[in-house]
Amino acid sequence: MTIDFSLSPELEAIRLRVREFIDEVVRPTEAEIDEEDRDSLIAGIVKMRGEAIQRGLWLPHMPEEWGGMGLSHVELAMVQAEAAKARFGPFALNCQAPDEGNMHTLLHWGTDAQKEKYLKLLCGGRGRSCFAMTEPEVAGSDPTLIRTHAYQDGDEWVINGHKWFISGANRAQFAILICRTEENPDLPQAANTAFIVDLPSEGWNEVREIETMHGGHGHSEILIEDLRVHDDQMLGGRGQGHLLGQYRLGPARLAHCMRWIAQAETALDLMVARSLDRYSHGSLLAEKQGIQWMIADSAIELYQCKLMVLHAAYKIDRKEDFKSEVSMTKHFVANSLCRIIDRAIQVHGALGYSKDSPLADMYMNARWARFADGADEIHMMRTAERTIAAFRDHGTTKAATGGLPI
């Protein structure tokens, strides 16, 4: 068996091209954008995307026949980890959430007509989308409890329900909507069905953009009242909504982790730079044991994050069962991200807490990672269940810890 963590010369060249693109195009353009001015924001994104296409860095996650770079998940990890060091990096390459996950979903589940209309729209960068599953009345981590329901009326479905925290809904051209269509399924996971909803549509009502601790960032509350969709808008089979959602969320969780690694590494870089620059009580912060421990803990955690992401991506690429690895990785990387940024803030002192440093915004942005795409507690519960089951079945927990050859 060969274990090789090096990149081929071709992939190393891509990684460096992404890094140069972020430094030469994205960061300078971000500095020019006035986010209060929508025209300025759109002009900036169009500029960055045009340059990404010219440099051959468009759609790193999609096959070449759809205009993408055709990278594997392992290869995508090194692109995302470079791109997400700038806020608009993933947007510039058109590999941002939730569109990235929706592209994968449409590619796998969509009919030819659905791909032609919706996947082509996203791949061309001409529109946005959202994934509408979470509801305020029931636990977001348990989609078997979804109350939004649909009944068939001829060749149409009539949908009523309530969704919230739907990222990107306020500017989306379509939604992938998960709702309940089966009242007494053999399995609770067979109750839901996915539909594609053109936006705007009569019956799809945006109540508000939800204010978070980091302000309003496009997370919407949606009230659905007698929304009608044609039968050919069903995505996947009837009762396949849960399966579709899980198919989408596995790689999407890992893509988040790839981007979070970029943020964690940026925080560690800032932490070390501050420790080498700040003098206090007779020495640099970098020479003080308490600070050294924070740096060491962060470096060790970041190393673990990278290894976990690479192994989970490797399993996806080999079409092996990756649920356990992605679940453990998502939990660990999300928590490491929060801890590393927190340590960086501590080393910076009041500067880290202020908006004069990027760390304050990074910390507020990071906090959602511990409940988005499955809360900490759900991933911990599933990991424990799989570990106990492995021991019961095999007399050892080895299969629950990555199945690695050590």
CB atoms within 10 A of CB 160: 16
pLDDT attached to residue 218: 84
The token pair at 4 is: 């090789």
- Cα(198)–Cα(340) distance, rounded to whole angstroms? 41
pLDDT attached to residue 7: 83
Q: Residue 161 — left, alpha, or beta (φ > 0 → left; ψ -120 to 50 → alpha)?
A: left
pLDDT attached to residue 250: 87
DSSP letter for 43, please: H
Q: What contacts 13, CB < 8 A, 6 or more positions away?
A: none
- Cα(281)–Cα(356) distance, rounded to whole angstroms? 24
The beta strands (E) that lie in 103-173 are given as 129-132, 149-153, 156-167
Q: What contacts 139, CB < 8 A, 6 or more positions away?
A: 145
pLDDT attached to residue 188: 87
pLDDT attached to residue 1: 56
| 198: exposed, middle or buried (Cβ count in 10 Å: 0-12, 13-18, 19+) | middle
* DSSP letters spanning 256-272: HHHHHHHHHHHHHHHHH
Scored b (16 or more CB within 10 A) or e, 369-403 reads bbebbbbbebbeebbeebbeebeeeeeeeeebbbe
Q: What is residue 135's three-state secondary structure?
A: coil
Residue 143: φ, ψ to 5°: -65, -10
Residue 7: φ, ψ to 5°: -95, 145
What domains are defined for the chain? 9-96 (1.10.540.10), 129-235 (2.40.110.10), 248-400 (1.20.140.10)
Write down the residue that tokens 């329900």 correspond to: 161
Averages of pLDDT over each 10 residues, the chain, 406 residues:
80 95 97 90 95 97 97 94 95 95 96 98 97 93 93 97 95 97 90 97 96 84 98 96 91 94 98 98 98 98 97 94 95 98 98 96 95 93 97 95 89
DSSP H helix total and E strand total for the chain: 14, 10
pLDDT attached to residue 62: 97
DSSP letter for 6, please: P
